[in-house]
Amino acid sequence: DELPFTREADVVAEGLVLQAGHFTVPSGPGLGITINMDVIERYRVA
């Protein structure tokens, strides 16, 4: 399965897993994603 958010997907290095139309709930704390800070820096405005 693939998410339709191409730019947002670039921002997230490791993201939620989509299986059969449902997201798998992470077992650890937080949202279960890893932000790609290099991409954040590229899109930063100020």
What whole-number distance in Å separates Cα of residue 19 and Cα of residue 40?
Answer: 27
Say what the pLDDT of residue 7 is. Answer: 62
Say what the pLDDT of residue 5 is. Answer: 58
pLDDT digits (tens, 9 = 90+) for 3-30: 555 666 577 777 777 888 888 877 878 8
pTM score over 0.75: no
Decide if pLDDT at 1 tops 70.
Answer: no
Per-domain residue ranges of the chain = 6-43
Tell which residue, 15, 6, 13, has the closest CA to residue 37: 13
Say what the pLDDT of residue 24 is. Answer: 81
